[in-house]
Chain A
Amino acid sequence: MEKLNPYLRPHPDPLPRGEGVRTSDKSLALALIAPTLTVLLALSIYPLIYSIKISFQSQSGAPTLQNFTRLITDQFFFSALAHTFIYAAIALTVEFLIGLALAVLLNEQMRGRSAFRSLLLVPMMLPAVVVGVVWRLMLNSNFGAVNGTLKGWGVNPEALTWTASPKLAMASVIIADVWQWTPFMFLILLAGLQAIPQEPYEAALVDGSSAWQTFRHVTLPLLKPAILIALLLRSMDLLRVFDHIFIITEGGPGFATETLSLYIYRTAFRFSNFGYAAAMSFVLLLITNLISVGYIRLLQTREAT
């Protein structure tokens, strides 16, 4: 009978820190990484540099700063920014709340848990285009399932023109996003909940705290890392959203749902103004970077405490 897993090394593995590694191994190591680095440099870094270059050029190729100065006065740009933030904020909040509720619900042992989990995963896996098609169908004011069902319940949905209405269009695309990505929130938060040990709960019980108090003072603080991760990942995706809005409203009606990605796309590929598009993409890049850095800061301070 063996005491130890035979594949476990009981002695600490003295990993050579560079010295003591044979030079032939070192060159092999670099040779194996080289193709990846090359491809990534070519497909990520080089385009960025290219982008920087054209952002400082006018459409005729002359050097200029106008692409950046134009940002300050461009109404569409500000609308796009506003739309992006509104979209992101609302979608994030709704997905978070629903996801958290579902995670709390599913956090106990129950039969068929993995079956439910599989079903809830379905929206996440779909191509964004299909999600767009699905919701464009569902929200069609004439024969879509939503309005049709409302009519069947006796509610008159005349006013609910969803994608055709400037006010409701934003709601439409948000609904689609929430439908697709709440499971994602749910999964991460569930995993975070399940990683919390039992003892704090038991201590709170003994101390006499109510369900809500326990949730607020025990669960939430211990869940912070998972929450931050979930929010971070979703925020990054929400800020650059493009695909399903393109399908459902194409940024319309008018430009009511045009987010920054969509405006950049329109600028580059409808107006062929690549320089201006490049300048705007840097703004987008800057925003996403700042936000992710902010989240990571938050994560690190959490760990330090």
Chain B
Amino acid sequence: MGILLQNITKRYAVSVVDDLSLEINDGEFVVLLGPSGCGKTTTLRMIAGLEQPSSGEILIDGQRVNDLPPQKRDVAMVFQSYALYPHMTVAENIAYPLRVRKLAPTEIQTQVNQTAAMLEIESLLSRRPRELSGGERQRVALARAIVRHPKAFLMDEPLSNLDAKLRLQMRGELKRLQRQLGTTTVYVTHDQAEAMTLGHRVAVMNKGQLQQFAVPLEIYRRPANRFVAEFVGSPSMNFIDGRIDPEMRCFTADGLRLPLDIGTTQSGASNADQQPGRLRSSFEEITLGLRPENIEVSNAQQTGMIPGTVYVTELMGSETFVFLDLASQRLIARAASDFRAEPGATVWVRLDLRESHFFDQVTGDRLSLPPSITTPQPN
């Protein structure tokens, strides 16, 4: 049945976690994603039993665990600092959970060896944590979590202390491992790339509140609000504040006039989406969101393109990021790797509004446009 969080709130002076409800299915890899201080680590620690919720229920496998101390919850935790016992060898570290459950020494030995083999650390079994590299310590921490076959893994930013290359490598191994073991996993990170690649589903949090809980693709394609849209995706989404003119069927901002009747894909209406016009007067104060890959840049003018000025370009090798000024807006665009332009040069820009997003400028909520605006007019 997995893990169920019902209206969890944690209060110190302010609400660190605010009315959070999440249902995590058995065997699922769920990522809690958000900036520092958003409450994701606190939530994880509440699931582990290291902290008590101020209100709300936590259920593991259908059983209410609020009053159960951590040692009885049968979850395993991988700490950001790995928390390896410095005075014990690797083998003793891994064996520890089994030792406190009073398993027979021979049985413990077998399990430790098996788990060490799974993580390819057999050669390290007699070493101490201080003799190991970061990646090796990480594997030992994982081994210690795996060896007990717990109901769930709880991981608190386990990769953030590794250098970039190792992080990528471990990311892949973690994913493969979890799919292989099929254990329910709750994973905390502030790195949106990790969240998108590792999780079955991602729960985006900000200031203690759940922003969106969905599969990665859904979060990327249909972010529930401006915060999620901005947080996920690198380089992040461009935002332009303006208004919509329903008669002319276009989006206007300072010096920009963008036609909308081209069939925007994202606005396949869903119950979650709000339509402007439903709340207040509404087609005012709307923010347009456009990802860098949906902005086309060219040195030569083509039909439908508008002129912009280059601010700076970043040559990434596989592609080029172009920072440009369009009317009074600063935007980032993705261009091909061979695109070149000098700062100050004029380039030609097409904004592909079929993949655009609209948000309420005040609340940040996602909006969808009525078909009356977006349906292409027959010519």
Contact = CB atoms under 8 A, between A and B. Distances in A.
**A–B direct touch in complex (beta carbons closer than 8 A):** yes
Interface of A: 1-4, 6-11, 14, 16-17, 19-22, 24
Given A6-B137, A9-B80, A11-B36, A1 B163 contact: yes
B161 A2 contact: yes
A14 B16 contact: yes
Interface string B211-247: 0000000000000000000000000000000000000
Contacts of B80: 9-10
Interface in B5-51: 10, 12, 16, 36, 41-42, 51
Contacts of A1: 134, 163
Contacts of A11: 36, 41
Main secondary structure of the interface of A (DSSP, over half): loop
A21 B69 CA distance: 11
A14 B134 contact: no
Interface residues of B, number: 18
B161 A3 contact: yes
A257 to B, nearest CB: 53
Given A17-B12, A20-B52, 7 more contacts: A1-B134, A1-B163, A4-B161, A6-B137, A8-B81, A11-B36, A24-B69
22 contacts: A1-B134, A2-B134, A2-B161, A2-B163, A4-B161, A6-B81, A6-B134, A6-B137, A6-B161, A8-B81, A9-B80, A9-B81, A10-B80, A11-B36, A11-B41, A14-B12, A14-B16, A14-B42, A17-B12, A20-B54, A21-B52, A24-B69
B42 to A, nearest CB: 7
A37 to B, nearest CB: 26
B348 interface: no
Interface of B: 10, 12, 16, 36, 41-42, 51-52, 54, 69, 80-82, 134, 137, 161-163
Nearest to A4: B161
A246 B135 CA distance: 65
A108 B162 CA distance: 41
Contact of A2 (B12, B51, B162): B162
B52 A6 contact: no
Contacts of B54: 19-20
B190 to A, nearest CB: 10
Contacts of B51: 14, 16, 20
A1 B163 CA distance: 6
Contacts, number: 37
B157 to A, nearest CB: 9
A40 B105 CA distance: 44
Contacts of B36: 11
A254 B52 CA distance: 70
Nearest to B49: A22
Which 6 pairs between the two chains have the least Cβ-Cβ distance? A2-B134, A20-B52, A6-B81, A7-B81, A2-B161, A1-B163
A8 B161 CA distance: 10
A80 to B, nearest CB: 54
Nearest to B82: A6
Contacts of B163: 1-3
B92 to A, nearest CB: 18
Contacts of A16: 51
A24 B70 CA distance: 12
Contacts of B42: 14
A2 B134 CA distance: 6
A36 B161 CA distance: 41
A76 B82 CA distance: 68
A22 B69 contact: yes
A16 B161 CA distance: 26
Contacts of A22: 52, 69
A212 to B, nearest CB: 50
Contact of B10 (A6, A7, A17, A20): A20
Contacts of B81: 6-9
B10 to A, nearest CB: 7
Contacts of A10: 80
A6 B10 CA distance: 27
A14 to B, nearest CB: 7
B2 to A, nearest CB: 24
A201 B162 CA distance: 42
Contacts of B137: 6
